[in-house]
Amino acid sequence: MEAFATKLKEQIITHLNLEDLTPEEVGLDDPLFGEGLGLDSIDALELIVFLEKEYGIKIENPEEGKQIFESVNTIAKFIQKNKNT
Amino acid sequence: MPQKVWVTGMGTVSSIGLNVEESFRSLCEGKTGIGPISYLDTRFKEEYPLGEVKLSNDELKERAKLSEPIVSRTVLLGTLAAREALSQAGISDVQEYRTGFISATSVGGMDISEKIYQGFLEQGKLEDLSLMGIHDCGSTTEMMADLLGIRHFISTISTACSSSANSIMLGVRLIKQGILERVVVGGTDALTRFTLNGFNSLKIVDKQQCQPFDANRRGLNLGEGAGYIVLESEALMEKSGKKPFCYLSGYSNTNDAFHQTASSPTGDGATRAMEKAMALAGLKADDIDYINVHGTGTANNDMSEGNALMRIFAEHVPTCSSTKAFTGHTLGAAGGIEAVFSILAIQNQVVYPNLFLETPIPEHNFSPITKLKEQKVEHVLSNSLGFGGNCSTLIFSK
Amino acid sequence: MKIYISGMGNISPQTTFDNKNFLDEIVSHEGSRLNIVDPPYKEILNPRLMRRMTRIIKMGVTSAKICLAEAKVEMPDAIITGTAMGCVKDTETFLLAYGSEESTLLTPTAFIRSTHNTVGGQIALMLKCNNYNFTYVQKGFSFESALLDGILKLKEKDGENILVGAVDEMTDNSYGIKSHLGYLKEGIKNSLDLFQEKSKGIIAGEGSAFFLLSNKENENNYAVLSGLFMLYKPKSQAEIENGIQHVLSPQGLELKDIDAIIIGKNGNEEKDGIYDDFLKAFPSETAVLGYKHLCGEYETSSAFALWMAARMIKEQRIPKATIIRKSDAKELEHILIYNHYRGINHSFILVSKI
C-alpha cells in the first residue's frame, strides 16, 4: 500500500505540474486542497480525469471528489477499493 | 457636465428571436429558446440542450444576402444584428460622420477553424488551410465592418463572458473623448464544439433546461447570438433631432483577482463593478429599478453574484432576473443581447421573468421575479461576469 | 496632458528582457522563424504561480512584472492587453484533446487558458489587482487598441498608472500553417539580412512587451507618448499621408520635425512598396530605421518598435543594427513609428522627448 501511495504521489505531482515540489515534501496524509498544497476546483477536475484514464475508475459526481481527494492516502485507498470490486 | 452618450438603435439575434421584435415577444410570453440540438454537429446531440438560433448557416447567409462561400456563423449572426441596429438608428450612410465598430466575441471564426485545424493537427491535412485566416476574433470583426461599410475605427474585445459589455463601455468612452461621433457596439458568438466541450470539461453544463438562481440549479445551457446597439454623441443628436431610446449613465469594469475561472464567494469584483458604475451615474441603491443579472445557473456564479447584490442593496435588492433561461449563456454576445433586453425594459416599462425558478437560494434574502411585471423602469443595471475575474456593469437610464 | 512611458518590459527574439543591452549584441536567427530568447523565468516568477502557465502566459506575465518593477509601481490602475491570436498553444492542445471524436475524457486546463484574456487575468491574479482589465484582439490593431485605451484612462483621470502591453506567440503549428500557406520567406540564411532580400514573404516572430503609462513627471521616465492613430484599409496614398497628419498636427509638428522614422519593413517585395511611398513624404535627411529583422513579423510587433523608440529617446542614440537610412541629426526629439499588418491595419505612433 505504501509503495503504491508513493508511486501515486509522483504521478499526481507530474500530472498537476507541481514542479516545485519533490515527492518527499508531500506527506501521504497532507491535505491536498485549501491550506495544504493549495489545489483548487480545477485540480479536482484534473484528478477525476486522471483516475479514469490511468486506473479506469469513474467518478460521476464531482462533489464526491471532495472526500476522495483529501490526501494522497485517501486517493490510494479509493483506487485500491474500486479496483478490487 | 460631461456629455451624455445616447442609444439610438439596437439589433439582436438569439434563440428567442431573429430580431428585436421577435425577441421581445418571446420575453413577454415567457418562451425559452433552449431545446434539443438541431444545428451544431456534435456527438452530444442527445445529451445537452442548447440555445441555438433556429436557422442553418445557408439560411442565415440568405437572410444576410451574402454570397461568400464560407462565412463564420459568428459573422452571420453579428451582421444581421448590427444591420438591424443601424437601420433602427436610421443610419444609411455610415461614412457621413466618424463612425466606429467595436465588436466582442469569444470564439471568433472557431466554428470553421475547429474542423480545419483538427484535420491539420490530427492528420496533417493541408486542404482548406487558407481558411485559418478567418479563425481569429479580429477577422470576424473586420469582415463585419466591411459588410457594414464602417472603416473609421474598428476594434475587438475578448474578455470571455463580459466581452460585449466591455465593447459598449469602450464605445461610450470614445464618444465622450470626442474620438468618435457614433459607434456600433456589442458582440456576437456562435455555438461551437470547442465551447461545448470546454464547458463540459468544467462540468458546469446542465443536461436539462437551466434554472438560474434556483437552489437546485445544475449549471448553464450554452446559447448563441448577437446583440448590438448604436451610440451617438450629444452633438449628433442635436443635429439630427432624433428621439433616443435611453442613455448610458454608468459603467465600470473591475477584476475579481480571485481565480482564473471561479468567482470569489463574496463577489468582490462584481460588488466593485456595480458600486463604481452607480457612482459614475450618480445613482443611489434605491434609484435602480431593475437588474438584469449575469445569472448563468452555475452554483458558483449565482451564489457569488447574489452575495454581491446583498452587499450593495442589503435588504432591498431591486426587482431582478436572469434572462439566460431564455437564451442560454451566449458568452461573448451576452452583454450585447442583455443590453438590448435592458433597453426594451425601459422602452416598454416592463421587466422579464426569471424562467424555471422554483426554489429560491436559501442563503439569499431576495429572489428574482418569476412573472412578467409592468412597473416603472428608469434605471436598469446589467451585469456581465467572465473568466479571468472579469466583472462589468452597465447602467441604462431613461 | 502629457503621457509618459515610465517603465518597460520586453521579451523578444533579442536579449531585451533585462533592459540593459540595447541592441548592441544582436541575436541572429537562421531561417524565417524568430522565437523569443527566454528570460530566467524561475528567478522572476513564483513557481507556484508558474504551475498553470504555458509559454505565452509566462512571457506576458514576466514582461509585465519587469515593466512594473522598473516603473516602481506595485498596483497599476488598469491592466490592458493586446493579443491578436491569444494563447495559441492552449487552443491547439484543447482542439487535439476533444478532437474530431469529441472525447469525454477531457480536463479543463487548456480550455480555460485558451480564453483570450488569460494573460491579463493572470497578471491581475499575480498582483491581486481588482482594477480595470481589458483585452483587445484586433489583428494588427491589438496593441494599438490597448494603447488607445490606456491614453483614454489617463485623459479621463481614471487612474495614474496604466499597464499596457501586447503578447503573441508562435507555435510549431502556427509556424507550419504560415509556411504551408506560402507566407514565409524561403531560403533566408540570416534574419539580419532581411532588408537586402528581394523576395516575397516575411520572417515570422513573436514577443511580449509591456509599458507603464503615467501622467506623472519623473526623471526616470523614458519618453512621452505623444500621438497614436489607426487607419483601417486605406484606399489611397492620400489617406496614409492624412494619417501622418493625425498624429503630427495636434502637436503642432511638421514632417521635417521628425528626427527618425521606424518602419515595419519586412523585406517583402509585395508589400514593402507601401513603406517606400510613405517615406516619400519626408525629407531625405530623416533617419529611417527597421525592426522586423530583429523580432520578426507578428500582429503586435509595433510594441517592440515602441520599446525601441522610447529607449532611443531616453538614451539619445540609435543602435547601429536598426539603421536603414542614416541621418546627421544631433538630437532625437520626435520618433514616428509606422507599421502596417498585411496592408490592412496601418498604425502611427509618435514618441517624443520629455
CA distances to A51, B106, B306, B355, C103 from B297, rounded to whole Å, are: 28, 19, 12, 11, 25
What is the rounded distance in angstroms from the CA atom of residue B160 to the CA atom of residue B141? Answer: 16
Backbone angles phi, psi at B314, to 5 degrees: 50, -120
Element (DSSP H or E) covering residue C168: strand C161-168
A45 chain-C contacts, CB cut-off 8 A: 107-108
Interface test with C, best of A47, A49, A51 (most C CBs within 10 A): A49
The CA distance from C272 to the nearest CA of chain A, in Å, is 45
The reply to whether C232 touches chain B by the CB within 8 Å rule is yes
Interface contacts (A, C; CB < 8 Å): 26
B→A interface, C-beta within 8 Å: 201-203, 259-262
Chain A partners (3+ C-beta pairs within 8 A): B, C
Assess whether pLDDT exceeds 60 at residue B7.
yes
C79 chain-B contacts, CB cut-off 8 A: 255
DSSP state letters, C61-78: HHHHHHHHHHHT-SS-SE
- Per the structure, how many domains does chain A have? 1
B170 chain-C contacts, CB cut-off 8 A: 134, 149
The reply to whether C125 touches chain B by the CB within 8 Å rule is yes
Residue C178 is predicted with a pLDDT of: 93
A38 chain-C contacts, CB cut-off 8 A: 48
What is the rounded distance in angstroms from the CA atom of residue C80 to the CA atom of residue C158? Answer: 14
The CA distance from A22 to the nearest CA of chain C, in Å, is 13
Element (DSSP H or E) covering residue C48: helix C47-50
Report, as ranges of residue numbers, the positions in chain C whose pLDDT lies below 70: none
For residue C232, the chain B residue with the least C-alpha distance is B151
Instruction: Enter the pTM of the model.
Output: 0.97
Residue whose cell numbers read 505623444:
C226
Interface contacts (A, B; CB < 8 Å): 9
Burial class of C42 by CB neighbour count within 10 A (0 to 12, 13 to 18, 19+): exposed
Per-domain residue ranges for chain B? Answer: 6-240, 246-397
For residue B299, the chain A residue with the least C-alpha distance is A63
For residue A40, the chain B residue with the least C-alpha distance is B259
Instruction: Indicate the CATH number for domain B246-397.
Output: 3.40.47.10
Maximum average pLDDT range among A76-85, B125-134, B198-207, C97-106: B198-207
Q: Which amino acids of B are annotated catalytic?
A: 161, 294, 329
Q: Do the domains B246-397 and B6-240 match in fold?
A: yes
What rounded mean pLDDT belongs to chain B?
A: 96
Residue A41 is predicted with a pLDDT of: 86
Supply the CATH number for residue A71's domain. 1.10.1200.10
Chain B partners (3+ C-beta pairs within 8 A): A, C
Interface test with B, best of C130, C181, C298 (most B CBs within 10 A): C130
C 68-97: CB under 8 A from B: 79, 84-86, 92, 94-96
Interface test with C, best of B201, B205, B222 (most C CBs within 10 A): B201
A17, A42, A52: residue with CB nearest C105: A52
Residue B1 is predicted with a pLDDT of: 53
The three three-digit cell numbers of residue B181, written as one number: 461621433
C139-196 pLDDT, tens digit per residue, is 999 999 999 999 999 999 999 999 999 999 999 999 999 999 999 999 899 999 999 9
For residue A54, the chain C residue with the least C-alpha distance is C105
Interface test with C, best of B113, B384, B390, B391 (most C CBs within 10 A): B390
B31-49 pLDDT, tens digit per residue, is 999 999 999 999 999 999 9
Across the interface, whether the CB atoms of A45 and C107 are under 8 A apart is answered yes
Across the interface, whether the CB atoms of C138 and B155 are under 8 A apart is answered yes
The three three-digit cell numbers of residue B315, written as one number: 435588504
B156, B268, B386: residue with CB nearest C137: B156
Backbone angles phi, psi at C223, to 5 degrees: -165, 175
B200 chain-A contacts, CB cut-off 8 A: none
Task: State whether CATH 3.40.50.300 applies to domain B6-240.
Answer: no
B114, B117, B157: residue with CB nearest C134: B157
Residue whose cell numbers read 471568433:
B108
A→B interface, C-beta within 8 Å: 40-42, 45, 62
Interface test with C, best of B125, B176, B255, B384 (most C CBs within 10 A): B255
Chain C partners (3+ C-beta pairs within 8 A): A, B
B203 chain-A contacts, CB cut-off 8 A: 45, 62
B264-316 pLDDT, tens digit per residue, is 999 999 999 999 999 999 999 999 999 999 999 999 999 999 999 999 999 99
B201, B203, B259: residue with CB nearest A40: B259
DSSP state of A16: T
The CA distance from C64 to the nearest CA of chain A, in Å, is 23
The CA distance from A10 to the nearest CA of chain B, in Å, is 24
Domains in chain C: ranges and CATH: 4-214 (3.40.47.10), 223-352 (3.40.47.10)
Across the interface, whether the CB atoms of A42 and B201 are under 8 A apart is answered no
The CA distance from C149 to the nearest CA of chain A, in Å, is 32
The reply to whether A54 touches chain C by the CB within 8 Å rule is no
Across the interface, whether the CB atoms of C108 and A45 are under 8 A apart is answered yes
Residue A85 is predicted with a pLDDT of: 54
Element (DSSP H or E) covering residue C229: strand C223-232
C107, C116, C299: residue with CB nearest B158: C116
For residue B272, the chain C residue with the least C-alpha distance is C130
ipTM, interface predicted TM-score of the complex: 0.97
For residue C151, the chain B residue with the least C-alpha distance is B177
Q: How confident is the model at residue A24 (pLDDT cuts 50, 70, 90)?
A: confident
C→A interface, C-beta within 8 Å: 47-48, 50-52, 105-109, 112
Q: Which domain holds residue A52?
A: 2-84
A19, A52, A53: residue with CB nearest C51: A19
What is the rounded distance in angstroms from the CA atom of residue C278 to the CA atom of residue C257? Answer: 16
The reply to whether A49 touches chain C by the CB within 8 Å rule is yes
A 13-42: CB under 8 A from C: 16-20, 38, 42
Element (DSSP H or E) covering residue C7: strand C4-11
